[in-house]
Structure 1
Amino acid sequence: MTQFFIAAILSIAGFCFSVTAHSQRESGTEQLRQFVRNSKTAEGDFVQQQLRAPKANEPQDKGLKVVRQTQGHFVFQRPGRFVWDTQKPYEQKLIADGKQLILWDKDLNQASFRPAGQALASTPAAILFGETSLDQHFDLIEGEERLGMMWVSLMPKKDPNAKDKNDLPYTKIAIGMANGLPKALKLTDGLGSVVLVTVDKIQLNVALPANRFVFTPPAGAEVLRLN
């Protein structure tokens, strides 16, 4: 684990629990369940990093390397609505309106629309904010305490009756909780690549306008309808 990775979480977490006795703290799983249960809407900031292990010709003592970093603002409303607004280093929006998933790329002047489904379920935003009952889709496994956070592993449940047999593209999913709020999401795929999302400045149960999750492509934009 790189020093950069550790510093990123510490800078966003920025605190540890004031209660020091472990037995007096709520577990990470209970914090996560309460957050899902009690947060109807929320907004805040995020930093998302794509990490990978060093290649054979690179120094092996550096740990995971940051190959891409984006940051922006998010808004969500349960169930199944969110805006994942990337602002740096480029402008891009991922919007879930409850029925479809929309990707708007300002530089390309392009909007793609696809039905909500597996594509939605695999997004970091949906894992953090989409479910109203995590236990219906995941087994929650209590993890260790690291960097001021109680970590929870999410193991997708197998549904033998599901028509879509494709699993999520991640072999490991973990959420770091502190003071009742998610502070970090770590996703690992089968090749060892890692997506790390840290969130900050979360405001819970904010009033949102009715059209907050409505997106209309600007005139002249390319529109793609995908299945």
Structure 2
Amino acid sequence: MTRFLNVAILTIASIFFSSAAFSQSESGVEQLRQFVRNSKTAEGDFVQQQLRAPKANESQDKGLKFVRQTQGHFVFQRPGRFIWDTQKPYEQKLIADGKQLILWDTDLNQATFRPAGQALASTPAAILFGEASLDQHFDLLESEERLGMKWVALTPKQDPSAKNKNDLPYTKISIGMTNGLPKALELTDGLGSVVLVTLDKIQLNVNLPANRFTFTPPAGAEVLRLN
């Protein structure tokens, strides 16, 4: 179930999908705040690249090494519903219906169901899909401008009452904003590996049918239910 571990990557991206009219003169932080406040629904395309840091026996001068790339289509509805539909190089869907998280693997003909709260507990999605302000859970820091985007660094705020002070698997989360839209997401882990998600063809505040996030496994599929 190694693919299921990508849920942290995929769900973080789901904070992105809405916006109003913006001026690029606004800071990246303000663009992100307004866009999260106005999030309703959206859909578009994504490309996700995984890059790893060089191993100890490899040259450190060549930087990050390309591992794999996937691409597909996303649909989002706040709070707590999304479809992350990977179409290449394999077919796989990650579906959150507000109560459970479902991984459908076409090649394996297998559907895996997990309670959404538990499955997303170690990711920002549990917070970002809710009604609360982004600022209640993250410190937002204006970062550099590069690749035509204004970047915002997100640092989780520490909860003194929390047993685990750092549940997130990433040491750095950055979002690239342009004209009020998130165009890129960078996730860096403790080993220096990076996941880069870029978004394209985003349609905002689209009308979605009530059953858009309902998934029923086809007849004959293997079904796993994890508690």
Judge same fold: TM > 0.5, yes or no: yes
What does residue range 3-22 of structure 1 map to in structure 2 within 5 Å?
none
Q: What is the Cα deviation at residue 164 of structure 1? A: 6.4
Q: What is the Cα deviation at residue 61 of structure 1? A: 2.9
Query: 1:33 is paired with a residue of what secondary structure?
Result: helix
Aligned match of 2:214: 214
Query: 1:60 is paired with a residue of what secondary structure?
Result: coil
Structure 1 residue 101 and structure 2 residue 105: aligned? no
Instruction: Decide which moves more: 103-112 or 160-169.
Output: 160-169
Aligned match of 2:179: 179
Structure 1 residue 130 and structure 2 residue 129: aligned? yes
Q: What is the Cα deviation at residue 159 of structure 1? A: 2.2
Query: 1:143 is paired with a residue of what secondary structure?
Result: strand
Cα offsets for 1:96-118 (capped at 9, x unmatched): 11111111101011111111135
**Structure 1 unaligned spans of 5+:** 1-18
Cα offsets for 1:191-211 (capped at 9, x unmatched): 111111011111100000111
User: What is the identity, as a one-letter code, of the residue corresponding to 1:150?
Assistant: K
| Residue-pair matches, total | 204
Aligned match of 1:111: 111
Instruction: Decide which moves more: 197-206 or 157-166.
Output: 157-166
Q: Percent identity?
A: 86
Aligned match of 2:146: 146
Aligned match of 2:38: 38
Once residues 159 and 61 of structure 1 are traced to their aligned partners in structure 2, the CA distance between those partners, rounded to angstroms, is 39
Once residues 105 and 43 of structure 1 are traced to their aligned partners in structure 2, the CA distance between those partners, rounded to angstroms, is 21
Preserved contact between residue 36 and residue 131 of structure 1 (Cα < 8 Å): no
Query: 1:117 is paired with a residue of what secondary structure?
Result: helix
Q: What is the Cα deviation at residue 165 of structure 1? A: 5.7
**Structure 2 unaligned spans of 5+:** 1-22
Q: What is the Cα deviation at residue 138 of structure 1? A: 1.1
Q: What is the Cα deviation at residue 161 of structure 1? A: 3.4
Query: 2:29 is paired with a residue of what secondary structure?
Result: helix
Query: 2:33 is paired with a residue of what secondary structure?
Result: helix
Query: 2:54 is paired with a residue of what secondary structure?
Result: coil
Once residues 56 and 38 of structure 1 are traced to their aligned partners in structure 2, the CA distance between those partners, rounded to angstroms, is 45
Aligned match of 1:50: 50
- The alignment's C-alpha RMSD in Å is 2.2
Structure 1 residue 60 and structure 2 residue 60: aligned? yes
TM-score, normalised with respect to structure 1: 0.83
Q: What is the Cα deviation at residue 137 of structure 1? A: 1.7
Aligned match of 2:85: 85
Aligned match of 2:202: 202
Preserved contact between residue 105 and residue 111 of structure 2 (Cα < 8 Å): yes
